[in-house]
Amino acid sequence: MEINALALARALHVVGVVLWIGGVAMVTTVLLPATRRLKSGAEQVAFFDKIEQGFARQARYTTLLTGLTGFYMLAAMHAWARYHQAQYWWVPAMTAVWAIFTLMLFVLEPLVLHKWFQQKATQNPEETFRLIQRLHWVLLTLSLITVLGAVSGAHGWLLPV
């Protein structure tokens, strides 16, 4: 039996997206609200930091997998022109969402945001968690719109030109 590299890449891509965006949904809808219910700011910061660091590791692996498989599929299908075709709006949207998360996970979070979060959460945990929750909701909403568009578009439901 011959391995179909494109089919394998697509399957790995979907698994990566499920783990990554599913994790973002869990953090946004479950972890952050649960963290805000803890009694003290110190408890909130410690709990969120502990859990978020584990998810950040998973998200780094899955965004890396998703990026590698996504760019492989574009190259294998000679589909680079989709970046310039309106009916494939979800291709640049996927790339933009991936780029935002990659920048956050590999650059901003380890170099800037972790320290900033610790400092702000110590000063004003309620406001800090509200801001983080709002940002997570924005990222989750953009991600879900993109996933909806990508799945629909990959199955033939394209915008009319």
Q: What is the 3-state secondary structure (H, E, C) of 49-111?
A: HHHHHHHHHHHHHHHHHHHHHHHHHHHHCCCHHHHHCHHHCHHHHHHHHHHHHHHHHHHHHHH
CB 12 within 8 A of CB 72: no
Short-list 110, 160, 130, CA closest to 44: 130
Bigger pLDDT: 131 or 73?
Answer: 73
CB 52 within 8 A of CB 99: no
Short-list 58, 56, 52, CA closest to 19: 58
pTM of the model: 0.91
Short-list 151, 47, 12, CA closest to 55: 47
- Taking only the tens place, the pLDDT of each residue in 17-42 is 999 999 999 999 999 898 888 878 77
Neighbours of 127 (CB within 10 A): 11
In the block, which residue shows the tokens 């011959």?
Answer: 2
- How many residues does this entry show for the chain? 161
- Taking only the tens place, the pLDDT of each residue in 44-84 is 877 888 888 888 899 999 999 999 999 999 999 999 999 99
Between CA 94 and CA 124 the distance in angstroms is: 34
- Percent of the chain predicted with pLDDT > 70: 99
Residue 138 CB-density burial (10 A; 0-12 exposed, 13-18 middle, 19+ buried): exposed
CB neighbours of 155 closer than 8 A, spacing ≥ 6?
Answer: none
